[in-house]
Amino acid sequence: MDGEDPLPRRTAVALNAPPAGSPSGPSRRKDPVEALFRGATRSFAVLVLLLLGAILVTLFVDALPAFRAFGPSFFLSQEWDPVRDLYGALPAAYGTVVSSLIALLLAGPLGIGVAVFLSEMAPPWLSRPVGVAVEMLAAVPSIIYGMWGLFVLAPVLNRSLYAFLEERLGFLPLFAGPSLGIGMLTGGIILAIMILPFVASVSRDVFRLVPPLLKESAYGLGATRWEVISQVMIPYGRTGLVGAIFLGLGRALGETMAATFVIGNSHTLSASLLSPSNTIASTLANEFSEATSALHLSSLVALAFLLFLITTAILSLAKFLLWRMEKALGGPSR
């Protein structure tokens, strides 16, 4: 009949139509661009791995003379004597790990607390300027932190906090004196101030990504603000919080100039946090330009190789702990 669409024509059109999900004409023309984009991004990822491998191989090759000369004792020896060409990495490695852990213990809870305040408690007129101020701390050059720590913070700590620790807790090996103001604890405090903006800024962004519906549901069930923060926001953003903390730890492990100014630069191994110490980065900054012998230079490169291994091991451990936590809580593992 006139005006009716015959069934055979409809069937032919349906049979000739492209299957669902198949690219149409315009999208087919974009396939080369898509392939180029995929290839470029894959190349960028491979380039990162190649750069990482090249750095590792270069450090290892340049450190081989020190490894051959000292063997495994290089990692366990406390002696660092350029005059006799005797070198050991233990004091610098110990100072690197301990000062970074001090910074993490101080900046981790403080940074998360700042993030909670800015995202949940502070009024807008206060949250914005304080947030900007926290982010500006990350832009301050590390040498400025080091100079401020040496000329301002260290004398203040030596007269107040360190004097109190010596008087009340000096019988403990951790706080045995005398204190000079510069040392392991001062280095850890400076590093904590430096990594605080990283932890606080990332944690604040993590808390802001928590769906408002989750928080409103908890409040509707009668939860207090502390319960919402501790049982809703922190569990929801645990992956981002762990990432923020270990981002700060990675910054602390490799920090050079600030630690060089305030840690004391002493190649000694001491249990006291008030005693001068050293880090791998500060050793490299102090001695690399003055290394005259080939063995001295190779030992410094071996220290850099050890710092690479320490950083990789700590970040791998963080990834493993995060995977275990995700698995235990039933979340997605990444």
| Residue 75 to residue 91: CA distance in whole angstroms | 9
In contact, 108 and 248? CB cutoff 8 Å: yes
Of 307, 188, 311, give the one whose Cα is nearest residue 259: 188
Residues 6+ apart with CB under 8 A from 318: 242, 246, 249
Beta bridge partners of 320: none
CATH number at residue 257: 1.10.3720.10
Chain-centroid distance of CA 203 in Å reads 13
pLDDT at 139 (0 to 100): 86
Give me 261's structure tokens.
């100014």
In contact, 198 and 190? CB cutoff 8 Å: no
In a domain, 62, yes or no: no
In a domain, 111, yes or no: yes
In a domain, 320, yes or no: no
Per-residue confidence of the chain (334 residues) as pLDDT tens digits? 455 544 445 444 444 555 554 455 444 455 788 889 899 999 999 999 999 999 999 999 999 999 999 999 999 999 998 888 899 999 999 999 999 999 999 999 999 999 999 988 888 888 888 888 888 888 889 999 999 999 999 999 999 999 999 888 888 988 987 888 899 999 999 999 999 999 999 899 889 888 989 898 998 888 888 999 989 998 888 888 888 888 888 888 888 888 999 998 888 888 899 999 999 999 999 998 888 899 999 999 999 999 999 888 888 887 877 777 677 666 554 4
pLDDT at 320 (0 to 100): 79
SS3 call for 123: coil
pLDDT at 111 (0 to 100): 93
pLDDT at 333 (0 to 100): 44
* Cis peptide bond upstream of 123, omega within 30: no
In a domain, 31, yes or no: no
In a domain, 173, yes or no: yes
Give me 71's structure tokens.
């063997």
pLDDT at 61 (0 to 100): 94
pLDDT at 105 (0 to 100): 94
Say how many domains are in the chain.
1
In contact, 219 and 233? CB cutoff 8 Å: no
pLDDT at 319 (0 to 100): 80
In a domain, 226, yes or no: yes
pLDDT at 255 (0 to 100): 86
Query: Which domain, by its residues, includes 194?
Result: 94-293
| Residue 326 to residue 306: CA distance in whole angstroms | 30
Q: 110 vs 123, 159, 192, 214, 315, CA distance in Å?
A: 19, 24, 9, 25, 21
In a domain, 201, yes or no: yes
| Residue 190 to residue 330: CA distance in whole angstroms | 38
In a domain, 143, yes or no: yes
